[in-house]
Structure 1
Amino acid sequence: MGPFFVIAEVAAPLTNESQVEKALIGLAEQTHGETGCIEYRMCRELSEEVRWVIYEVWKTEQDWRSHLKVDHLLEFKDLLCAIGGTLTARKFVPLGCT
């Protein structure tokens, strides 16, 4: 099976904006080196100061599932929980020709 795509969304209270953004940058730096990570790109939503989208491309779904267990992602999720933030993820597979 071909590449596996994930769109994740992070939201956090405005008072924690810089803390979350710094943690997201660290998360991305560490994730780029993970097995199976093809692309891991973060974007900040212009209409919401405290919302970010992460576009992820993995070689396989199993690579992504392994990513869910790494320490740096678990630490980021703990931070979000402590400040009342959220992280959601939706999975996709490509359609047609790629």
Structure 2
Amino acid sequence: MAKLDGLKRVLDFLQGLQPKIAAQIAKKILSLNVDPLPTDSKQLKGYPGFYRVDSGEYRIVYRFKSKEDLVEIILVGKRNDDEVYKKLERLLE
């Protein structure tokens, strides 16, 4: 099982959501430590080692470091706009 990192950021985000939605996102994130590259994950273009998965109307962006067996959650955001990717660019600058 892979280790999970970045959960503090996720918890802060989840506190503002409805409990049912927050639980769905949390379940999806926790499943990444069992299978860091599920069939519905996609590698981000231009960001080697970065992937995304969807949970309802939310997108989870993470980095998988296979040598360390580590899944690092980078951010969670709505998928219906490009705000998630704009935030990712700002984080990685």
Is TM (by shorter chain) over 0.5?
no
Q: TM-score range by the shorter chain?
A: 0.3 to 0.5
Taking structure 1 as the reference length, the TM-score comes to: 0.31
Higher relative contact order (CA 8 A, sep 6+): 1
Report the structure number with the largest CA radius of gyration. Answer: 1
Taking structure 2 as the reference length, the TM-score comes to: 0.33
